[in-house]
Chain A
Amino acid sequence: MKEEIREVISANIDDNIQYLKNLLKDNSDIVYREFYIDNIKALIMYVDGMGDKILLDNFVLESLMLNRKELKAQDIKDKILTVSDLKEVKKLKEGVNAVLSGDTLMLLDGMDICYIIGTRFWPARGVSEPSRETVLRGGRDGFTETIRFNTALVRRRIRDTRLRIVPKMIGTRSKSDVSVMYIEDIADDKIVNEVFTRLGNINIDAVLDSGYIEQLIEDNSWSPFPQIQSTERPDVVSAALYEGRVAILVDNSPFAIIVPTILPNLFQSPDDYYQRWIYGSMLRIIRLFSIILSLILPALYVAVTSFHPSIIPTKLAYFIAASREGVPFPAFVEALIMEVNLAILLEAIARLPRPIGATIGIVGGLIIGQAAVSAGIVSPVMIIILSITAITSFTTPNYEITSAFRIIRLLLIIASAIIGLYGIMLTLIAVLIHIIKLKSFGVPYLGPLVTFNKKDFKDMLIRAPLKHFKNRPIYMNTEDKIRQK
């Protein structure tokens, strides 16, 4: 049912007060303060817990109630009210929405306008390092749940006049504040327009987290690959804006989402750029290598032991055969058990309270694994593969790609159990075809690999020295192309 709020402000303040009290009845946290400025009746209305009482008491009520001069209506706003954030509003609906967002509504008898005083103040988490995106070098601030603090963190890093922070309100009931950020002369107009179009098409009642927005505007919901990057770090957002991407911040969510996103973005960590290029490149290569390993290692194990043992060196073949003696399950079932076990472990560790979580990791991993080997249920080689897979799958900075790879790993294991090495190759080709077809907001998902501009390769596998970063990424089709001279 659609929400109905009156738009007209009556000149009679009692009329307004009665309407408001009726609209927001049965709410114990809404405060109505009627007072007199000289002999004009006035009302301020705010939400207890969201409005800043100190500001109101000291600056609004004090300056107004202690006023002894003769007043005209206009003077209240211009000369008496010592508040910096003050808006004059003609529609009651806006005023009510402002109150529910934490601002204060002020009505004056005899005037058909109202004032909105910016008094948003609520208990908020302090700025701290995001737990999932730690870096070796770089800032340790992260986004919080208040959108205004978040935009400030970005604004501090982009003091350019061409940075645009465009507000939108999404969610018919939650009316969440959403800010779309981009740098006007860098981002491609087509992408910006596409973002606004898609946001405009959202017609949901509540947006509880940026994840809702992410899922409602992404290109392909069926693909396991995330097409939108989410991050808690302001420096990641700022770097993205400098490359011509668009960031979206949602109130109540510390996760900013960045579009368009290509696959290489999901493998980059900010400290690749803050450290010197040799270490940065080394880290990149190690990361890529470990990702590939985590993807194909279990499937390769199944294929090699069950189908093609002639590929591996003879001694290794003998060793694996010896270590699998007496193990009741075929290699395929072992690999599946391992995969399921890993998923359960991770989920359990994520849900447990922090001190117990670390212990379970050790217990689950080491002791249960060792016990399983001693009991002869799994072969020791499988345990090694399990641990290598688990460790290498966490080298990605982005958590969602890890989940994507988990799905693909499962598919690969199944494919390799059916037709061995050929199955692995076919599945990899299928995945390749899929990500070739995938586009994020018009930009091909594989980015530079597809457009094959040599200059883009400076940031792909290795990270070229910063002196060579002269142009912005070509695949982003930015307007302003030069980064450095």
Chain B
Amino acid sequence: MRIKKILIILTCCIFTTGCWDKVEIDRRTFVSTIGIDAGEEISKEKELKKLSPNEPFSESNVKRLNVTYGFPDISDFGPQKGGIAQEKTINVDAYSMEDAFIKATGKNSRNISFGHSKLLIMSNDFFGYPEAVKEVLDYLQREPSLDRNALVVIAEGKVEDYMKYKPDTEKNIQEYIHGLIENSDRNASIIPTDLNEFLTNLDENGNAILPYLTIDKHKNEIKLSGTGVIKDYTFKGILSPTETADIKILRGKLKGGKKVIYEEGHPIDFQIDGIKRKITMDNKDDKLIFNINVNMEGQIKEYYLGKQLLSTKIISEIEENFNESLKDEMEKVVKIIQSKYSTDLIGLREYVQKYDPSVWNIVKKDWDETYKNAVINIYVNTHIRRIGAIR
């Protein structure tokens, strides 16, 4: 009997107050791309430091960030039509990410929802201001509805240009970049990073690498190749596609790619099917010596009509040549990273931390120095498994 009374009261309450979280799906805007750019007044940090926490009207209109939200426009569809929509954007200036969200809500007739965000574009200018970067990162981690599977890329110049770009094969830029990244299994010059990896890496050591996006305004093309290097929350530089491919191999994460050597003036193209990487470490005279063993497997894709490949001697010769060529190449790339960026992109730091904690306890204070002075030897072992359909 008591239960019945409570139920009656409860039912009355429900019908008088209503359903609180109900937002119809057609009243929502599903943001698919978020673009973060440096605002005009992003360097005005000193002024903000003068504000004390208990000051009134802290709502300042400092234009620290310029945020663009890209979303598919569903409003011109009726029930009979469906499909992929045109992408629209909202651009706001704000002092923080949450402020951007509120301002965007003011500009949009629908309820903005991040549940389906798939892409995060950050401009390299933005990374020139590490304080702002840290604020944005806190927001990205704190917001529970953001999908951690979202891809992160770094773009050259103003993000708004990228968001407004209309690619040929897809209807919106988010799909396009997604497709490009999915192709990265074959194209070794992209190292895809999702939000989770990005945040984790930045948390561990303040470093990250992101695929680099460039736009060619004359040809109206967007290219995704190469990698942007971020150290201590600032943007340090770019790695070229070849360097990126090598880094990817050294990280042990390459799933496919291409390497080439020239023989008698003709290129021999080798398609990589898979690699295995092993690291070992020696500690001599306060210097760390890393030996990286790379095992590559693949097939020859292109040579020269008339040359036969079906002989073990020829194949082992080609394999030897690849070994030497790649060893030199990769060692050079690693030297560049050590001296120019002194950022560990290959995972050596994690290796020491995990497998040799006693050494890690000693070196962790001056890791950057140690890394800079470390000796890194690379040994490449190529295996050509297939040569295609002809001899």
Contacts and interface: CB of A to CB of B under 8 A. Distances in A.
Do they bind each other? yes
Interface of A: 304-310, 314, 317-327, 330-332, 373-374, 376, 379-380, 417-420
Interface in B187-240: none
B145 A319 contact: no
Contact of A325 (B14, B74, B118, B145): B74
The 10 closest A-B pairs by CB, nearest first: A310-B115, A322-B77, A305-B25, A324-B26, A306-B22, A314-B116, A321-B25, A323-B79, A321-B26, A322-B74
Interface of B: 14, 19, 21-26, 28, 30, 32, 72, 74-75, 77-85, 113, 115-116, 118, 145, 147
Contacts of A419: 19, 21
Given A306-B22, A307-B21, 15 more contacts: A306-B21, A306-B24, A308-B115, A309-B28, A314-B32, A318-B72, A321-B30, A322-B26, A322-B79, A323-B77, A323-B82, A324-B26, A324-B79, A325-B26, A325-B79
Query: At the interface, is chain A mostly helix, strand, loop or mixed?
Result: helix
7 contacts: A310-B115, A314-B118, A322-B74, A322-B82, A322-B85, A373-B79, A376-B79
A330 B81 contact: no
Which of B19, B24, B25, B72 counts the most A-chain CB atoms under 10 A from its CB?
B25
Contacts of B28: 309, 321
Contacts of B83: 319, 322
Contact of B22 (A325, A326, A330, A374): A330
A317 B22 contact: no
A335 to B, nearest CB: 12
Contacts of B77: 322-323, 325
A354 B28 CA distance: 47
Nearest to B21: A307
A321 B113 contact: no
Nearest to B84: A318
Nearest to B147: A310
A327 B26 contact: yes
Query: At the interface, is chain B mostly helix, strand, loop or mixed?
Result: loop
Given A305-B24, A417-B19, A420-B21, A310 B113 contact: yes
Nearest to A306: B22
B30 A309 contact: yes
Given A306-B24, A317-B30, A419-B19, A326 B116 contact: no
A308 B75 CA distance: 20
Given A310-B113, A314-B116, A319-B82, A417 B30 contact: no
Nearest to A382: B79
B25 A324 contact: yes
Contacts of A321: 25-26, 28, 30, 74
Nearest to A301: B25
A174 B32 CA distance: 72
Given A306-B24, A310-B115, A318 B85 contact: yes
Contact of B25 (A331, A417, A420): A331
A318 B78 contact: no
A420 B113 CA distance: 17
Nearest to B22: A306
B146 to A, nearest CB: 10
B115 A309 contact: yes
A379 B79 contact: yes
Contacts of A379: 79
A307 B82 contact: no
Nearest to B174: A314
A380 B77 CA distance: 13
A332 B79 contact: no
A380 B78 CA distance: 10
A332 B24 CA distance: 9
A411 to B, nearest CB: 12
Nearest to B17: A418
Contacts of B84: 318
Given A317-B30, A321-B28, A417 B116 contact: no
B108 to A, nearest CB: 14
A322 B81 contact: yes
B79 A326 contact: yes
B110 to A, nearest CB: 10
Contacts of B116: 309-310, 314, 317
A221 to B, nearest CB: 15
B78 A376 contact: yes
B30 A418 contact: no
Contact of A310 (B32, B75, B82, B145): B145
Contacts of B145: 310
Contacts of A308: 115
A423 to B, nearest CB: 9
Given A314-B116, A321-B30, A327-B79, A307 B74 contact: no
A120 B79 CA distance: 65
Given A325-B75, A417-B19, A309 B82 contact: no
Contacts of A307: 21-23
A374 B79 CA distance: 8
Contacts of A305: 24-25
Contacts of A420: 21-22
Contacts of B74: 318, 321-322, 325
A119 B26 CA distance: 73
Contacts of B19: 306, 332, 417-419
A229 to B, nearest CB: 29
B75 to A, nearest CB: 7
A380 B115 CA distance: 24
B81 A314 contact: no
Contact of A331 (B24, B32, B78, B147): B24
A309 B113 contact: yes
Contacts of A380: 79-80
A401 to B, nearest CB: 24
A320 B25 contact: yes
B24 A324 contact: yes
A375 B26 CA distance: 18
B78 A306 contact: no
Nearest to A414: B14
B175 to A, nearest CB: 10
Contacts of A304: 25
B149 to A, nearest CB: 11
B364 to A, nearest CB: 39
Nearest to A309: B25
Nearest to A311: B115
A308 B32 CA distance: 16
A28 to B, nearest CB: 54
Contacts of B72: 318
Nearest to B18: A418
A325 B78 CA distance: 5
B30 A314 contact: yes
Contacts of B25: 304-306, 309, 317, 320-321, 324, 331
